[in-house]
């Protein structure tokens, strides 16, 4: 699992790659907290194009990030979800909260 | 058009692993590898991996509350259906109906989505959950693969 972020014109893009499950969940949360706290932004885009596995633990992690960012009035988007991310996001209706986008120009 | 007849022989496997998080990936890959003989699509393999991951994670986080224990995973192929049982000897579930409701979780402070059973239900064709007489929980899932390589998600 790899998580890294980059800031460009107030848009924080966070890339999450690999398998997200309960085993890596603590590390994932910690990484995400650090990246989010380190950057001032007006919105966050999660690039999930390289997710190769995600179960409901990953959904819990994303929901937690969504809530914390929402409290700071920062909207979140999901960029190019891989089929693995796409299916579980659709099934849990998380796209209703974190809309899908296909390019960063959309925000 | 001739229908391709898959004559899958009866086959089974049993896996016993410690309830450690590091085994989640192994468990889902093991069941997925066993399922390959059913000619699954990429999506079906992923569904199986996800469902097994949910069940195994539940054993670790809820059944044993991360204090160790053992998980037994059994898989069986019978007339184009894959049956998967995941069981533990942990604390079981007081109210199974409540536990299976979407978003219900006994550990909200841990940022749990409460969607484990919902995902298992969506990714399998049949799901049964019950407390074992001797203690612990058993989760039984069934996934059907029809002869045209279909099943529920075709």
Report the b/e string of A60-75 with b at 16+ CB within 10 A: bbbbbbbebbeeeebe
With a cut of 60, say whether residue B9 has pLDDT above it: no
Residue A88 in contact with residue B119, Cβ under 8 Å?
yes
B140: pLDDT strictly greater than 60: yes
B31 lies within 8 A of chain A by CB: no
* Contact across the interface for B119 and A64, Cβ inside 8 Å: no
B62 touches chain A (CB under 8 A): no
Quote ipTM for the complex: 0.93
Place of tokens 């978003």: B103
Give me the mean pLDDT over the B56-76 stretch.
96
pLDDT score for A29: 97
Q: Which of B79, B75, B77, B81 has its CA nearest to residue B55?
A: B75
Mean pLDDT, chain B, integer: 90
Nearest by CB to A55, from B60, B114, B119: name it: B119
Model pLDDT, residue B15: 98
What per-residue confidence (pLDDT) applies to B146?
Answer: 78
DSSP-assigned states of every residue in A3-42: EEEEEETTEEEEEEEEEESHHHHHHHHHHHHHHHHH---S
Q: Give the residue numbers of B annotated as catalytic, written as ranges.
A: 54, 58, 112
Structure tokens at A57: 């633990």
**Closest CA of chain B from A93, distance in Å:** 11
Share of chain B above pLDDT 70, in %: 89
Dump pLDDT digits (tens) for A84-96: 999 999 999 999 9
Q: How confident is the model at residue B150 (pLDDT cuts 50, 70, 90)?
A: very low
Chain A, 44-63: which have a CB under 8 Å from a chain B CB? 53-57, 59-61, 63
CA A90 to the chain's CA centroid? 14
Q: C-alpha A44: how far from its chain's center? A: 8
The rounded Cα B26 to chain-centroid distance in angstroms is 13
pLDDT tens per residue, range B33-48: 999 999 999 999 999 9
**In angstroms, rounded to a whole number, what is the distance separating the alpha carbons of residues B42 and B127?**
21
In tens, the pLDDT along A21-74 reads: 999 999 999 999 999 999 999 999 999 999 999 999 999 999 999 999 999 999
- Judge whether B101 is closer than 8 Å to chain A, CB to CB: no
Report residue B11's pLDDT band, with 50, 70 and 90 as the boundaries.
very high
User: Is the pLDDT at B6 greater than 60, yes or no?
Assistant: no
Residue B151 CA to residue B146 CA, distance in Å, equals 5
* Residue whose pair of structure tokens reads 């603590």 in the numeric block: A26
pLDDT reported for residue B148: 57
Shortest Cα distance, chain B CAs vs residue A1, angstroms: 12
pLDDT in tens, B69-88: 999 999 999 988 999 999 99
Range A65-71 contact pairs with CB under 8 angstroms and sequence separation of 24 or more? A65/A32, A65/A36, A66/A94, A66/A97, A66/A98, A68/A36, A69/A36, A69/A44
Burial zone of A20 (CB within 10 Å; 0-12 exposed, 13-18 middle, 19+ buried): buried
């Amino acid at each position: 699992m790899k998580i890294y972020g980059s800031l460009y014109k107030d848009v924080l893009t966070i890339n999450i790659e690999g398998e997200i499950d309960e085993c890596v969940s603590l590390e994932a949360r910690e990484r995400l907290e650090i990246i989010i706290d380190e950057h001032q932004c007006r919105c966050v885009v999660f690039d999930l194009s390289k997710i190769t596995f995600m179960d409901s633990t990953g959904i819990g992690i994303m929901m937690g990030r969504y809530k914390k960012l929402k409290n700071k009035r920062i909207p979140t988007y999901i960029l190019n979800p891989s089929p693995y991310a796409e299916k579980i996001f659709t099934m849990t209706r998380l796209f209703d909260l974190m809309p899908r986008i296909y390019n960063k120009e959309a925000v | 058009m001739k229908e391709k007849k898959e004559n899958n022989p009866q086959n089974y496997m049993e896996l016993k692993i410690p309830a450690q998080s590091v085994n989640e990936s192994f468990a889902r890959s093991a069941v997925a590898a066993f399922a390959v003989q059913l000619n699954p699509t990429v999506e079906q393999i992923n569904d199986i991996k996800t469902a097994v991951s949910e069940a195994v994670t539940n054993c670790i986080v809820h059944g044993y509350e991360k204090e160790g224990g053992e998980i037994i995973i059994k898989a069986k192929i019978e007339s184009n259906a894959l049956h998967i049982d995941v069981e533990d000897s942990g604390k079981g579930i007081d109210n199974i109906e409540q536990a299976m409701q979407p978003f219900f979780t006994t550990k909200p402070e841990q940022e749990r989505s409460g969607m484990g059973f919902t995902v298992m239900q969506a990714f399998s064709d049949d799901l049964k959950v019950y407390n074992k007489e001797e203690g612990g929980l058993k989760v039984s899932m069934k996934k059907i693969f029809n002869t045209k390589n279909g099943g529920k998600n075709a």
